[in-house]
Amino acid sequence: MTTPIAVVVLAAGAGTRMKSTLPKVLHPLAGWPMVRHVLDNVGRLRPGRIVGVIAPGADAVAAAFAPHPAVVQKRPLGTGDAAKAALGALKGHRGPVLVVFGDAPLVTAESMRRLVAACRRSRAAVGVLGFKARDPSPYGRLIVHGGVLEKIVESKDANAVEKAVDFCNSGVMCIDGALIGGLLRAIRNNNAKREFYLTDAVALARAAGHRTIAVEGDEEEFQGINSRAELAVGERALQRRLRAAAMAAGVTMTDPDTVWLAADTRLSPDVSIGPCVRFGPGVSVASGVQIKAFCDIEGARIGRGALIGPFARIRPGSDVGEEVHIGNFVELKATRMARGAKANHLAYLGDSAIGQRSNIGAGTIAVNYDGYGKHRTVIGADAFVGSNSSLVAPVRVGRGANVTAGSVITEDVPDGAMAFGRARQVTKKGRATALRAKLKERAAAAKQAKKK
């Protein structure tokens, strides 16, 4: 049995380049706040504890860390100072401490596991995940001689020779739990940025005679997110992974580049997805479901064999049963469609429950809002709602009932009943022909009058 690791997630930086009132680590990626991806990734290493480091007053960030504790770094004096703020919360921890950044959501559990394993194997005091950067200029450089990581030099402090090094610091660092306190407390801020650099832990460990190592990973994982442009790059990278995983698990995508998934989207095998489909958080789709082009689905469960779209919008709280058909320009919100129910064209069904096999005609609106509160529409099994009907909630339409087209239904319709909620038709024989003749005559007379 190896001792479990502890994880420290640094998220107290100012994030000024985002130009946002929202803390950087809360900006969403694939439907989750950035830092939730980090927590999900490190969680896969089954750490004994996770500690967040946040800025003063960042309550929303602390909430994103919950149930894990978040400690406050009083002032943003650098990554070394931030890690030091977590020392109190690490008391009693003996195993390795993995320090990661809250703005690096793409680092995989696999890479972190490799780093921790390499550190354990070689009994390193400090290990770093590094990568070969196409453009090393924004990163700290890993100075390696004869296979030994000697130090990390930040870009601003690097000399010409060091600047030419393209092996860079990802920011993921594994530090021996027995040494971390001494190392972090020894870090000074005598550098270009007057900051306490976590990266100095490497040279300090070396100077004390300890082993320090670098483990190489892939650049794609280590792109930190500092700006909106990098947020978009990160989103694309995450989407590529999510799509690839879905297809590997048996999902068909006609044009994967146009399918946008959330990190928690659950797609069963033999789901088929057309072009330009977006999934918000909280969607699960059972097998055999076909989602046609241009659908937007969020917070919903889609049952086996359902047919969705094209152009359907399914909003949170919806439960679409097996074999249900939802057609073009149909919007569901907090609505349950029981097995085999159909709403094939142009409908809004909000706060509703539709019984098995019921058919909802084109243009049906569940009138669920009176300006103050939301009300429910309940439709029994095998009911038929004719086209262009308004169901003014709260209202119930019974089992096997029939609502005639164009009705405004304000009263409950009992089982098996037929409801007419519209004016009765009046037909006048010959009236159209007569009217037309009269109007024609009048127009001719007016023309004549003008000539005179």
What residues are annotated to the active site? Answer: 345
**In one letter, which amino acid is 125?**
A
How many residues of this chain bind ligand UD1 (CB under 6 A)? 27
Q: Contacting ligand UD1 (CB under 6 A), which of 34, 103, 143, 151?
A: 103
Own/partner long-range contacts of 373-381 (Cβ < 8 Å, ≥24 apart): 374/350, 375/351, 376/351, 376/352, 377/349, 377/351, 377/352, 377/353, 378/352, 378/353, 379/352, 379/353, 379/354, 379/355, 380/355, 380/415, 381/338, 381/355, 381/356, 381/357
If one asks whether residue 212 binds ligand UD1 (CB under 6 A), the answer comes out as no
Cβ(361)–Cβ(388) under 8 Å?
yes
Query: What is the closest distance, in whole angstroms, from the C-beta atom of residue 338 to Ca ion in the complex?
Result: 50
Binding partner at 355 among ligand UD1, Ca ion, none, C-beta below 5 to 8 Å by kind: none
Query: What is the closest distance, in whole angstroms, from the C-beta atom of residue 213 to ligand UD1 in the complex?
Result: 16
Query: What is the closest distance, in whole angstroms, from the C-beta atom of residue 262 to ligand UD1 in the complex?
Result: 23
Of the two residues 124 and 392, which places its CB atom closer to ligand UD1 in the complex? 124
Query: How far apart (Å, rounded) are the C-alpha atoms in residues 365 and 307?
Result: 21
If one asks whether residue 327 binds ligand UD1 (CB under 6 A), the answer comes out as no
Query: How far apart (Å, rounded) are the C-alpha atoms in residues 295 and 447?
Result: 55
Stretch that binds ligand UD1, among 36-44, 197-205, 425-433, 437-445 (CB under 6 A): 197-205
Q: Contacting ligand UD1 (CB under 6 A), which of 12, 291, 307, 354?
A: 12
If one asks whether residue 101 binds ligand UD1 (CB under 6 A), the answer comes out as yes
Query: How far apart (Å, rounded) are the C-alpha atoms in residues 231 and 164?
Result: 27
Binding partner at 169 among ligand UD1, Ca ion, none, C-beta below 5 to 8 Å by kind: ligand UD1
Query: How far apart (Å, rounded) are the C-alpha atoms in residues 408 and 391?
Result: 6
Tell me the β-bridge partners of 298: none
Stretch that binds Ca ion, among 182-190, 217-225, 358-366, 424-432 (CB under 5 A): 217-225
Categorise residue 340: left if φ over 0, alpha if ψ from -120 to 50, beta otherwise: left
If one asks whether residue 53 binds ligand UD1 (CB under 6 A), the answer comes out as yes
CB 444: neighbour CB atoms within 10 A? 10
Cβ(262)–Cβ(30) under 8 Å?
yes
Query: How far apart (Å, rounded) are the C-alpha atoms in residues 419 and 403?
Result: 5
Of the two residues 102 and 361, which places its CB atom closer to ligand UD1 in the complex? 102
Stretch that binds Ca ion, among 54-62, 192-200, 219-227, 437-445 (CB under 5 A): 219-227
Binding partner at 77 among Ca ion, ligand UD1, none, C-beta below 5 to 8 Å by kind: ligand UD1
Q: Contacting ligand UD1 (CB under 6 A), which of 11, 214, 307, 419?
A: 11
3-state SS class at 371: coil
CA-nearest of 293, 330, 327 to 315 is: 330
If one asks whether residue 199 binds ligand UD1 (CB under 6 A), the answer comes out as yes
Site residues (vs Ca ion, CB under 5 A): 224
Site residues (vs ligand UD1, CB under 6 A): 10-13, 53, 73, 76-79, 81-82, 101-103, 139-140, 152, 154, 168-171, 197-199, 224
